[in-house]
Structure 1
Amino acid sequence: MQNQEDIVNPLNTDGGLQEVAVQDVSSGTLNWTNDTVKAPAVRELLSVLGAEYPVVQGVAGSGCVELEVVLDAGSPLVVSADSGRATVTAAEPSQIARGVGILLSRLCVDGEIVERTGFKTRGVMLDCSRSAVMKPSYVKQYITRLSLLGYNMVMLYTKDTYKLPGEEYFGYLRGAYSMDEIREIDAHASRLGVEVVACIQALGHLEPVLRWPAYADVRDTVSVLHTGAERTYELISKMLDFWSQALGSRRIHLGMDESYGLGRGRFMDANGYRPPTELFRNHLAKVRELCRLRKLRPIIWSDMCFRLSNSEMDYYAEPSASGSQVLEQIPEDVQLAYWDYYHQDEAFYIRRLKAHQAISSGTMMASGIWTWPQLWYNHRKTADTVAPCISACGKQGVEEILFTMWGDDGACCDWSSAWAGACYCAERLFNGNNEPGAALMESRFAAVCRGNYGDHLLASEMSVVNDDAGLQASAVLWDDPLLGIYWKERQAADGDFWPRALQRYRRISLGLEGRPAGSAGDLTHAALIAGLLGKKIELSCELHQAYRRRSPRLIESVMRMIPDIIDMYEELHLSFRRQWHDRCKTFGFEVIQGRLASLAARYRELRMRLGELLAGRINEIAELDETISTPKGPPSTHFESLSSAYVNSVTTL
């Protein structure tokens, strides 16, 4: 990792903008000509940026800035400005794009900004498998904005959401990408100097495919491929052929993570027990050979390598004596990606990176921009985990870093709200992992992402991600009003939990009231969520009090509140619908739509039950009578575990 001590930028030591940073050389359009931009690749880049931003080919007029760009191998990113002229110098197109972003952000003064980063690959992974499959136009917009922040790689996580010839059930009713759509995305990214890498699944996590009878012959378990079936490798060959032909990159991420139960299903029925370490090693060897034949360089998530090295199947445990052989047998040309979005201790990351580097010299780090299972990007969790991760990577010389944006539990997050996280992470990558100041972030976010950064962070406070005492906004939204699974777990753990949560949502709702929607995250949508969650908590507080007292007056008051909540659920449904169809293919929205409709129905049921209680037709509401005294384990947060006590599984949609 390169030394970043010589970075010069308009930051104070506390990350805030210097007082001298007052002159704005980018208040007008950035104009460039063939004389000021020599490199064809950079001309192409600027032309793409000009479709959305004030970057125009032509002689600068009054109020415009004359832009010169120099592509210089080995140079750091240097942005200099003087009297209506600006120069961007960098070693690669993606850093040129970041330099343009600096000018658009109105951060440059008479002088220069110099940035260095030791990360040769700076990537973001977009989850296009959990219900939401982003439209190519939205992916391209994402890539454009990421390039202005300095990213140079995008992964598309696609379990089964791409079309394979002769496999009509692969991606069936899932909004699968055609090869032409992927090529369109790749061509756009290439013009911006961004590499697109496929991130697929070639062992586990294939439940959307394996649910169909057409794939019974390749099914080991509900989510894991049958490693003893010849047809399995015919299917994987088709996967590799698709991506080999669709993308210019010769890298491919094969997934192969969390392949629990490997060899314990139909494989064992047919072949008897074989150690999963043996099955994993053999499968990896076969798929690696299929990649070699297509000149593809494979990447896999590292967790199964480490899980299989200890009896607890624990990603973070030390390998046993016999388990060490599993790690030693990982081929050198298979790149490991170490995913960790949870830890907040730099020493922990260093320890795990050393374990990876002992068996794989080119380890890729995968941190996270927290979009799962969230309704809005979670900034606090992102910042708390990204900072120590980046610091550890710097000390261990890691050159490739990826920020994942997962869509667990139905992809209900406002994906555009995560631009705030992408912006934040980029600043840390290019500025010595220092905490960026608020003024810098506001300027950068407004210019590149067209939104208000402070408002996005306020909305992100809807969730407090903490295993012991956290508040999960999506769990509040999905919690059944009668069963109250999440309500009762939190109440039993902390009697003051819900009054605090109510005050939080009232504060957020008030702070977002009347804020323009913007073209980053939809703040109107966020305000609606916060308002609904506050009303829902308020109703539940009054409901339980009214029921305990059997007070007709209080029960009638609760009944009067219910129609407003049903109306708010319908308003939220329409907001989700608008957002979904603007950005994603239609498939998958039925998941969100069904959940919201079922919750509205459950509130109508609650109102009927309260009416029957008042009328004397029933003497109790059994769901409200049942409670728990001491919660065991982490709280239930996913829709399936909140909609009924009969089902308790994490969604894989």
Structure 2
Amino acid sequence: MKLQFEGNVSDLRAGIELLAKEIQFVEAQDGIPVLVESSSGTLEVGLDQGKGYIRYGHKHQFFRGLGLFVQHARKGLPFQHRETQQFDTVGPMFDLSRNAVLTLDSFKFMLRKMALMGMNTVMLYMEDTYEIGEEPYFGYMRGRYSPAELREIDDYADQFGIEAFPSIQTLAHLEEFLKWEPVKEYKDTKGALLVGDQKTDQLVERMIDAASAPFRSRKIHIGMDEAEELGRGKYLDLNGFTSRFDIMTAHLDKVLDIVRRRGLKPLMWSDMFLKFASTDGSEHYDTETQIPAEMASRIPKDVDMVYWDYVHTEREDYEKLIAKHRPLGCNLVFAGGVWVFNTFGVNYGLSLNATDIALQVCKEQGIREVYATMWGDDGMESNPYIALYGLQFYAEHAYATGKLDDAQLAERVKFCTGIDADAYLQLKYLDETPGAEPDNRKQSNPSKFLLYQDVLLGLFDKQIEGLDIAQHYAQLEQRIRSSRVQEAELDYIFEVPEKLCGVLKRKSEIGIALKQAYDAKDHDTLRHIAVEVLPQITEAVQALRAAHRTQWLRMFKPFGWEVIDIRYGGIVNRLDTASMRLLDYTEGRIGQIEELEQERLLYSSSNRFNQKGLGWCSYYYRMASPNVFFHVLNPF
């Protein structure tokens, strides 16, 4: 497609040139004339009698408009499109702290997709993955970004009118820094800073300076979520018992003083204040407990509170929880999620339902700033690329007044990402298996625990007994394979899911077959499994690992891949040991296989369809074995 822009596009030029290749157009004198004009805020795009126009209020809206123009003009028919942005700020939060640190090229790729979607912000969640000059152990061997790299990300984002800003931790969630012996002076507990200490205050000041300096934005997210262990380690030894609320508010005052003196605008997670107000001091989503006036009066009002909620699918829950925040008197921001957490796939069933309701309520309640978080819990086997459908969902909601049109959403997804919407949605079935609740509302993650569980120990075998999980993965493998388009730029993101299905169709139920054959003293079946089946699983695992390695090194810095590599090695080695044990038994060298003598118990509950649906496990080491991976005498 040939286009000829008319009007002042000097400030847009760099972004136009970057997106020209992305959506395949060229600028030419004989191209379709497109008049570019600023407007009061409404985005208007159209084509009539061979002439086009893009009228926009903010820089980022132009690039959404450019994408909409090319998308519709390709059809060769006149059109008019008008929309008003419903949120002032919308964009993703990339988790850059759970091993998967996006390369600069990968980050830029995501920014181009965001620009086409019309997003205008990106939050970089960095616990210790940015450099602090006087702290060599901060982010050591973790793929941390240099100041130059962060400036390059910021410069690239700015070309599209996207505001990039840091999200750091100034209280808890600092396990990966505090694990180092040379920095023990900063440590209260395993992950929380020793607040009230002068050296800690100086560290926090350096954190804020180092994280904020590379960015144009004056915004900074100071974290402070999930700090339940605050004041219960070294702080307790030094100061005696002090309420967590008193400790946290005193520390918050210090952090905000640092931020104010630098002219920064702070945000923080709100969950700890909700927990302090709850009956037992720990419930984040208690819709009945109200924040007392005395507590609210002690919380500064010049920090934006970020209410995060990834799980609710009922309007009433969001309405109550938003109302619960109101006594704080702070500007309220919302953070939902695209569920790539603790899985190889994306829980689109839960993500889209929760997002749809949450954003509807946010619009009604006057919340003007929303984020889509993509956490990488427990090492990040997944990736933000397969969450692009979810990001598009957020973007379309941000420009829609009513319910989203599925067909229009699918058309936008295909245009902006090059991948069919249905191909993305197939990935939810990596975890939405037989036995899971509809839309996987309870976040079951069998794609992970069935891969990592040991075939001789069968920790999750009772969970899946009788559910025909192997057949589910065999069918899903075929559906993913048939949906792939080799020439598509992003086709490679389906290689790992396809090969994972190739493993799980063989491995998911093999432990059940082993136990049944062993109990029946069926030596022929046991020998067949040892000689034929387990080697086939090993071969499939090795193919999966190779695909996963290629994908990781294409998307992320290498730091952190060693963790996944070790996990794959564990699977292969345990399959080898299982083969040896089976042959030793069937050939009479041992009288029993003790692992198969053990009764199989449910992993999660006495009721298989319990509060976690099919089953959920948060940590690899608990999936792989019930035995000790590490032992900490003092967890603080």
Q: TM-score scaled by structure 2?
A: 0.91
1:111 paired with 2:79, answer yes
Query: Are the aligned partners of 2:303 and 2:330 in contact in 1 as well (CA < 8 Å)?
Result: no
1:553 paired with 2:527, answer no
Out of 135, 142, 146, which is 1:178 matched to? 146
The amino acid across from 1:91 in the alignment is: G
1:367 paired with 2:331, answer no
Q: Which residue of structure 2 lines up, in the alignment, with residue 200 of structure 1?
A: 168
What is the DSSP-based 3-state SS (H/G/I as helix, E as strand, rest coil) of the residue aligned with 1:349? helix
Change (3 A) 1:276 1:432: same
Q: CA deviation at 1:433?
A: 4.8
The amino acid across from 2:549 in the alignment is: R
Q: CA deviation at 1:618?
A: 2.1
Q: Which residue of structure 2 lines up, in the alignment, with residue 212 of structure 1?
A: 180
Q: Which residue of structure 1 lines up, in the alignment, with residue 633 of structure 2?
A: none
Q: CA deviation at 1:647?
A: 4.6
Query: Are the aligned partners of 2:293 and 2:327 in contact in 1 as well (CA < 8 Å)?
Result: no
Out of 352, 363, 366, which is 1:394 matched to? 363
What is the DSSP-based 3-state SS (H/G/I as helix, E as strand, rest coil) of the residue aligned with 2:228? coil
1:280 paired with 2:248, answer yes
Once the two structures are superposed, residues 234-284 of structure 1 have per-residue CA deviations (whole angstroms, 9 ceiling, x without a partner) of 111111111332100001001100011111100111111111111000000
Out of 41, 56, 60, which is 2:11 matched to? 41
Q: Which residue of structure 1 lines up, in the alignment, with residue 634 of structure 2?
A: none
Q: CA RMSD in A?
A: 2.3
Out of 582, 587, 592, which is 1:620 matched to? 592
For 2:287 and 2:113, the matched residues in 1 are separated by 40
Greater mean alpha carbon deviation, residues 257-266 or residues 301-310: 301-310
Q: CA deviation at 1:319?
A: 7.9
Q: CA deviation at 1:434?
A: 1.7
Out of 469, 477, 485, which is 2:459 matched to? 485
1:351 paired with 2:309, answer no
Q: CA deviation at 1:204?
A: 0.4
Change (3 A) 1:609 1:183: same
Q: CA deviation at 1:467?
A: 6.5
Q: CA deviation at 1:454?
A: 1.3
What is the DSSP-based 3-state SS (H/G/I as helix, E as strand, rest coil) of the residue aligned with 1:268? helix
Query: Are the aligned partners of 1:129 and 1:160 in contact in 2 as well (CA < 8 Å)?
Result: yes
The amino acid across from 2:371 in the alignment is: L
Q: CA deviation at 1:520?
A: 2.9
Once the two structures are superposed, residues 376-404 of structure 1 have per-residue CA deviations (whole angstroms, 9 ceiling, x without a partner) of 22211211210110111011111111110
Q: CA deviation at 1:459?
A: 2.4
Q: Which residue of structure 1 lines up, in the alignment, with residue 54 of structure 2?
A: 88
What is the DSSP-based 3-state SS (H/G/I as helix, E as strand, rest coil) of the residue aligned with 2:405? coil
The amino acid across from 2:35 in the alignment is: E
Change (3 A) 1:483 1:326: farther
For 1:504 and 1:300, the matched residues in 2 are separated by 42
Out of 622, 629, 639, which is 2:620 matched to? 639
Change (3 A) 1:79 1:627: farther
For 2:80 and 2:414, the matched residues in 1 are separated by 21
The amino acid across from 1:88 in the alignment is: I
> Residues 521-600 of structure 1 correspond to what in structure 2 (within 5 A)?
522-559=493-530, 560-600=532-572
Change (3 A) 1:285 1:648: farther
1:410 paired with 2:387, answer no
Query: Are the aligned partners of 1:101 and 1:444 in contact in 2 as well (CA < 8 Å)?
Result: no
Q: Which residue of structure 2 lines up, in the alignment, with residue 136 of structure 1?
A: 104
For 2:70 and 2:472, the matched residues in 1 are separated by 35
Change (3 A) 1:321 1:249: closer
Change (3 A) 1:397 1:219: same
> Residues 200-599 of structure 1 correspond to what in structure 2 (within 5 A)?
200-310=168-278, 311-317=280-286, 324-438=293-407, 440-464=408-432, 466=440, 470=444, 472-488=446-462, 490-491=463-464, 495-497=465-467, 499=468, 501-513=469-481, 515-517=484-486, 518-520=488-490, 522-559=493-530, 560-599=532-571
Query: Are the aligned partners of 1:140 and 1:185 in contact in 2 as well (CA < 8 Å)?
Result: yes
**Residue segments in structure 2 that go unaligned for 5+ positions in a row:** 433-438, 606-610, 631-636
What is the DSSP-based 3-state SS (H/G/I as helix, E as strand, rest coil) of the residue aligned with 1:52? helix
Query: Are the aligned partners of 1:71 and 1:93 in contact in 2 as well (CA < 8 Å)?
Result: no
Out of 48, 64, 67, which is 1:101 matched to? 67
Once the two structures are superposed, residues 74-95 of structure 1 have per-residue CA deviations (whole angstroms, 9 ceiling, x without a partner) of 3x11111124432121211211
Query: Are the aligned partners of 1:94 and 1:152 in contact in 2 as well (CA < 8 Å)?
Result: yes
Query: Are the aligned partners of 2:170 and 2:223 in contact in 1 as well (CA < 8 Å)?
Result: yes
Query: Are the aligned partners of 1:387 and 1:433 in contact in 2 as well (CA < 8 Å)?
Result: no
What is the DSSP-based 3-state SS (H/G/I as helix, E as strand, rest coil) of the residue aligned with 2:26? strand
Q: CA deviation at 1:585?
A: 0.7
Q: CA deviation at 1:420?
A: 1.5
The amino acid across from 2:626 in the alignment is: A
- State the aligned residue count: 610
Query: Are the aligned partners of 1:303 and 1:338 in contact in 2 as well (CA < 8 Å)?
Result: yes
Query: Are the aligned partners of 2:458 and 2:600 in contact in 1 as well (CA < 8 Å)?
Result: no
For 1:173 and 1:306, the matched residues in 2 are separated by 35
For 1:226 and 1:88, the matched residues in 2 are separated by 54
For 1:608 and 1:433, the matched residues in 2 are separated by 61
Greater mean alpha carbon deviation, residues 152-161 or residues 627-636: 627-636
Q: Which residue of structure 2 lines up, in the alignment, with residue 32 of structure 1?
A: 4
The amino acid across from 1:349 in the alignment is: Y
For 1:629 and 1:217, the matched residues in 2 are separated by 44
Change (3 A) 1:32 1:626: farther
For 1:627 and 1:297, the matched residues in 2 are separated by 57
Q: CA deviation at 1:320?
A: 6.5
For 1:341 and 1:101, the matched residues in 2 are separated by 29
For 1:595 and 1:79, the matched residues in 2 are separated by 50
Greater mean alpha carbon deviation, residues 537-546 or residues 556-565: 537-546
Identity value in percent: 29
For 1:309 and 1:475, the matched residues in 2 are separated by 35
For 2:49 and 2:599, the matched residues in 1 are separated by 70
**Residue segments in structure 1 that go unaligned for 5+ positions in a row:** 1-27
Query: Are the aligned partners of 1:306 and 1:327 in contact in 2 as well (CA < 8 Å)?
Result: no
Query: Are the aligned partners of 1:157 and 1:198 in contact in 2 as well (CA < 8 Å)?
Result: yes
For 1:550 and 1:227, the matched residues in 2 are separated by 61
1:72 paired with 2:39, answer yes
Once the two structures are superposed, residues 9-48 of structure 1 have per-residue CA deviations (whole angstroms, 9 ceiling, x without a partner) of xxxxxxxxxxxxxxxxxxx24x234xx1314323333123
Change (3 A) 1:181 1:389: same
The amino acid across from 2:201 in the alignment is: Y
Q: CA deviation at 1:537?
A: 2.0
Change (3 A) 1:442 1:84: farther
Change (3 A) 1:645 1:341: same
